[in-house]
Structure 1
């Protein structure tokens, strides 16, 4: 009996099979996007791997990654996302624990058919939209411009 092979989902093929037995329409090697580093594409400063400009581009990207501007952008992102995620997960878990641990409290009527459980559940939706708006505003006012300037600087270095 033949040994069963696993399917490589990313490549869309069975490993070790000749190219004629691969799925039709799936390229044997993913083509790089035009302008991507190392694609030899239309973007200035890019070159195929092994070409003289490839190591220069790698040095530029490594220099950008270790720069203070890049660190500032990453700190700004983490400084918003981590506390916001923890606050939202805490709020959500509080709702779940309250449902399980204090059902009498959650059934308490507030106004007409509206009880504490409904109020907290609607608060989950409101907090989701509020966090989305706050994230977009934070990105727009604190990180987007700095990231765009860093990108322009990187592209200038690659030319």
Structure 2
């Protein structure tokens, strides 16, 4: 994990790759819980028997499940000391170029794209790229925006 000592030091990292998270295995249990939480019970996610003969040969994680793991993964990559809070503001872009089959190992990489100062802190734009172990394309690319308050 990379630790920045306040916004000034974090701002110096604009344009830099901040590192990678640990690898995490996506389980059918996670997929099922996400389906319950969101009401998205599409068979490609929750029916292993039917999914075995489907286009992916197994169940796959919901795209938004993959996106929902961003906070967990990013917390393993970097932190900014001296903040009273950080709040998710939104995303500029989100894409799911490749599926996440159940049992896949995924990790995130992060790049600080922009940091804009304001009267009450800063707005940070970070490009998150989630990759699958052995995959040839990312499974999720998201440009996230956070408000950082000292």
TM-score range, shorter chain: under 0.3
Structure with greater strand share of residues:
2
Return the TM-score normalized by structure 1: 0.21
Return the TM-score normalized by structure 2: 0.21
Q: Higher relative contact order by CA 8 Å / sep ≥ 6: 1 or 2? A: 2
Which protein has the larger Cα radius of gyration, Structure 1 or Structure 2?
A: 1
